[in-house]
Chains A and B, each alone.
Chain A
Amino acid sequence: MASVYFDYMASTPIAPEVRQAMHDCLSNKDWANSSSSYHMFGATAEAIIHESSLQLSSLIKCNSQDIVWLSGATEANNLAIKGVAQFYGKSRRHIITMATEHASVLDSCKFLESLGFEVTYLKPQANGLLDLNILKQAMRPDTVLVSIMMVNNETGIIQDIQKISSIVKASGALLHVDAAQAIGRVEIDLASYHVDLMTFSSHKAYGPMGVGALYVNSNPRVRLTPQIHGGGHQLGLRSGSLPVHQIVGMSTACALVNESLAADIIRVTALRDKLWCGLSSLGDVYLNGDLNHQIPHCLNVRFSGVHQESLLLSMRPFALATGSACNSVLSTPSHVLQAMGLTLTEASNSIRISLGRETSDDDVDNLLRNLQQEVVRLRRMSPCDGVISR
């Protein structure tokens, strides 16, 4: 079945330039173990890794030695949160995060709670944004870490990291920012605000799956207890031989999305506005988010009286989502939307539509036409007139 892709927040197709760079890497003598730098093969691999670190660090404006390569954003979030907590946890055992974070942050926090740490889960405002006063009030002398996502994976809401950074820094805690959805969608400038740890993903930015990175500030140095042991690679923070071709793929992808960032935002914003305008004309359609504070690549939309699963099945020529792909083993309504104040039913009536570099004007027209038709059809089928016998 031909399918039109509208799930760019779950993953993005590998860019042809990235595929070529990875192919070149695997085809040349670049496949060796970068730790074996005493021979030419290993030294070449090491040089490529160094170049990739330079490339990524120049995009996000940090020191290349502050980049730790990992298997993806989930591992990066685990290392950042558990690593900080375990290293500094003897004296400071309080962590602050948001109830709308990715499962890899929330589950890491839950794990730490089982070890005796105390975690405060801040609820967002109705539009998904963090109320900075609530954050200020939650800060405590024993707060060791604040972990806040830059761009939410279900709603696309962008948190004000600069202001959050000022509050956290003033309290003496460390700040971790999950920027898995941010690269290629918003500008990241680590030189303009203080962040101690930042998570990056490759496959959300047209790179390959299976690789990600964690920025670990070295000035002042952030200390982490490693979560994977065995060889002491990458200054002991993450043991394991580095996958050269994956890292080349990620750094190439990040450079590409960064180059086209401004033009991409303009193009995608026009598509998003057209889509939202068409959907809202249906009536009883609501945006879960805030157009003034979210990336244009994501629309989380609620259709009253229409269950998300039935809508998605009737729209199966289109690749749409109910929410986070990372929660797909659970068929429960979105924890993000519920934290924003939506009822279970409202969350169950919501779908996520995400746009990317291959989304065309025709794709949006086609999606809009079909969504309008299917929403009307399913609403006609719905008995939701408020009278329920049991």
Chain B
Amino acid sequence: MNNYSLEVLKYFDDPCHAGVLDDASSVYVAKYGLLDNQEVLELSVQVERGVIVLAKFRVYGTPVLIAIGQWLCDRIIGTSISYCINHQLKAPDVLSALSLPKTKQHLAQAAVVVLAEVCTASC
């Protein structure tokens, strides 16, 4: 078995935010990655009064990307869009939170991009 960090295993084993949100005017969806690269991350958020009240993710890819999706949803639920914009998530934050090596920078970047896209769309 590959040497996954404890944090990756924790989030991979309990992906309670996996799924999609019902299509509604307050739901925003962003998707990043290429199937050919075996890395696709989709983030759906429901925003009410400027606050992310629900977040779901879907992933096609490795356990690390699944863990990132779950961690990202955990982190942003209850957070305001303005906070997300003013305190922009950066790839090193993701790497640090999940104890990932720099070789996973591109996966961390997926989280940064999808979050930025849903925030922009909801404004």
Q: Is B62 an interface residue (CB 8 A)?
A: yes
Nearest Cβ distance between residue B31 and chain A, in whole angstroms?
A: 5
Contact in complex: A381, B66 (CB < 8 Å): yes
In B1-59, which residues have CB < 8 Å from any A CB? 1-2, 4, 12, 15, 18-19, 30-36, 38, 40-42, 58-59
A343 CA / B1 CA spacing, docked (Å): 24
A266 close to chain B: CB less than 8 A: no
Check: A292 CB closer than 8 A to any chain B CB: no
A390 CA / B112 CA spacing, docked (Å): 14
A309 contacts chain B at the CB level, 8 A cutoff: yes
**Chain A residues with a Cβ under 8 A of chain B:** 305, 307, 309-310, 312-314, 316, 331, 343-345, 348, 380-384, 386-390
| Beta-carbon contact of B40 and A388 below 8 Å | yes
Which residues of B lie under 8 Å from residue A314 when comparing CB positions?
12
In the assembled complex, the CB of A389 is this many whole angstroms from the nearest CB of chain B, namely 5
Docked-complex contact A389 and B58, CB < 8 angstroms: no
Asked if B92 CB lies within 8 Å of chain A CBs, one says no
Is there an interface contact between A307 and B61, defined as CB atoms closer than 8 Å? yes
From known contacts A307-B61, A380-B18, infer whether A312 and B1 are also in contact, taking CB-CB under 8 Å. yes
Q: Report yes or no: A382 in contact with B32, Cβ–Cβ below 8 A.
A: no
Q: 9 smallest A-B Cβ distances: which pairs? A: A383-B58, A383-B42, A381-B18, A382-B60, A309-B62, A313-B63, A348-B38, A389-B31, A384-B60
Contacts of A381 in B (CB 8 A): 15, 18-19, 58-59, 66
Chain B residues near A389: list those with CB within 8 A.
30-32
CA distance A388 to B37 in the complex (A): 11
What residues of B have a CB within 8 angstroms of the CB of A343 in the complex? Answer: 36
Task: List 18 A-B pairs, Cβ < 8 Å.
Answer: A305-B60, A307-B61, A309-B63, A310-B66, A313-B4, A313-B12, A343-B36, A344-B38, A345-B38, A380-B18, A380-B19, A381-B18, A382-B59, A382-B60, A384-B60, A388-B40, A389-B32, A390-B34
| Shortest beta-carbon distance from B104 to chain A in Å | 12
Closest-CB distance, A22 to chain B (whole angstroms): 29
Q: Give the residues in chain A near B61, CB-CB below 8 Å.
A: 307, 310
Shortest distance between the CB of A355 and any CB in chain B (Å):
20
Bound CA–CA A323/B86 (angstroms)? 46
Find out whether the CB atom of A382 lies under 8 angstroms from the CB atom of B63. no
Residues A307 and B2 in contact, CB atoms below 8 Å apart? no
Number of residue pairs spanning A and B whose beta carbons lie under 8 angstroms apart? 67
CA distance A310 to B38 in the complex (A): 11
Chain A's nearest CB lies how many Å from the CB of B35? 6
Chain B residue contacts of A313, Cβ below 8 A: 1-2, 4, 12, 63
Q: Which residues of A contact B66 (CB under 8 A)?
A: 310, 381
Find out whether the CB atom of A344 lies under 8 angstroms from the CB atom of B36.
yes
CB-nearest residue of chain B relative to A349?
B38
Could you list 14 further interchain pairs (A-B, Cβ under 8 angstroms) beyond the known A313-B4, A381-B19, A381-B66? A310-B62, A310-B66, A313-B63, A343-B36, A345-B38, A348-B38, A382-B59, A383-B60, A384-B60, A388-B31, A388-B33, A388-B35, A390-B32, A390-B34
Complexed CA–CA distance, A331 and B62 (Å): 11
CB distance from A106 to the nearest CB of B (A): 23
Give the chain B neighbours of A387 by CB distance below 8 A: 31
How close is A343's CB to chain B, nearest CB, in angstroms? 8
Q: In whole angstroms, what is the CA distance A29 to B3 when docked?
A: 44
**What is the bound-complex CA distance between A381 and B20, given in angstroms?**
9
A316–B18 CB distance below 8 A: no
Q: Once the chains are docked, how many angstroms separate the CA of A48 from the CA of B19? A: 64
Q: Are the C-beta atoms of A388 and B34 separated by less than 8 Å?
A: yes
Q: How far is the CB of A376 from chain B (nearest CB, A)?
A: 13
Q: Of A310, A312, A316, A345, which contacts B35 at CB under 8 A?
A: A345
Q: How far, in angstroms, from A380 to B18 measured CA to CA in the complex?
A: 8
Q: Which residues of A contact B2 (CB under 8 A)?
A: 309, 313, 331
Residue interface mask B71-108, A partner, CB < 8 A = 1: 00000000000000000000000000000000000000
CA distance A387 to B41 in the complex (A): 11
